[in-house]
A = this chain, B = another copy of it.
Amino acid sequence: MNSMYYGSIEAGGTKFVCAVGNEKGEIKDSIQIKTETPEITMPQVIDFFKNYDLMAIGIGSFGPIDINVDSPTYGFITSTPKLPWRNYPFMKAIKDEFDIPVGFNTDVNAAALGEATLGAAKGLDSCLYITVGTGVGAGAVVQGQLLSGLSHPEMGHILIPRHPDDAYSGKCPYHQDCLEGLAAGPAIEARWGKKGIELADKKEVWELEAHYIAEALMQYMLILSPKRIVLGGGVMKQKQLFPLIHKKVQTLLNGYLNIPEVTENIEQYIVPPGLGDHAGITGGLILAKEAYETVRL
């Protein structure tokens, strides 16, 4: 038993990653668990953490979730299309087993916190983390805090102008051709008839993808003015996207944001994750640490 560790849960739609580590993001132990029903998945999560005497646990969860501390359903997964998890009291399930502070936020907010604390935006009090994968999601650290308001952001579903040459109708069940509907991995596959990874050498695929991502980044920049933008997720493994996105963002803004980070050093402004695929799980450790410190105050 070691009592200097935090627990972290990255709860995704296909798998849960659980880890035990410290506030430097050093991971001592971790496990992957398939996402099935809460009845099947959660006992495995709990068993894993039972091996440790933890100070706190941080959860970064798929959503939508309730992060409003004053709400009766605070800590719940809410209206998710994954029916077994709908209205699931995630935070309570952990608290009932471990009588320690629990931090709770979205998976992408956790990743943003990880990148801002220990990753590509380390030392900055502001960072936008975007994942382009099965869906598009984003989390933000603003003035040193995870962004929230009425609820957590849902940035993946913004509307963007369609490219005039793109005949694909879009894949979002709510909005059809929102950003996620046009640019997430499944949209790439549906438009071109192959998975992204098999299209690696098709220039037109990544030109169009960069166009849509750049349109979205332009909105995020104009609205949030983040100090750094971190792009992760499966689709961003296509590293040729980065220079295309850099150029398109500048073209779209057309000199409007006259800031050196944008006009001169955009390669250092829009970047891959510093923590690779560990942004979320690392962010969970930081969420745990923040929960621990808040309770101690």
Q: Which residues of A are in contact with B by a Cβ distance under 8 Å?
A: 64, 78-79, 126, 142-143, 145, 147-155, 157-162, 174-175, 215, 218-227, 252-259, 261-262
Contact = CB atoms under 8 A, between A and B. Distances in A.
In the complex this chain forms, how many copies of it are found? Answer: 2
Given A222-B157, A227-B149, A259-B150, A174 B78 contact: no
A147 B142 contact: yes
A243 to B, nearest CB: 21
Contact of A225 (B145, B148, B160): B148
A233 B253 CA distance: 25
A223 B226 contact: no
B175 A223 contact: no
A78 B255 CA distance: 14
A158 B258 contact: no
A161 B158 contact: no
Contacts of A145: 143
A78 B257 CA distance: 11
B126 A149 contact: yes
A241 to B, nearest CB: 19
B155 A126 contact: no
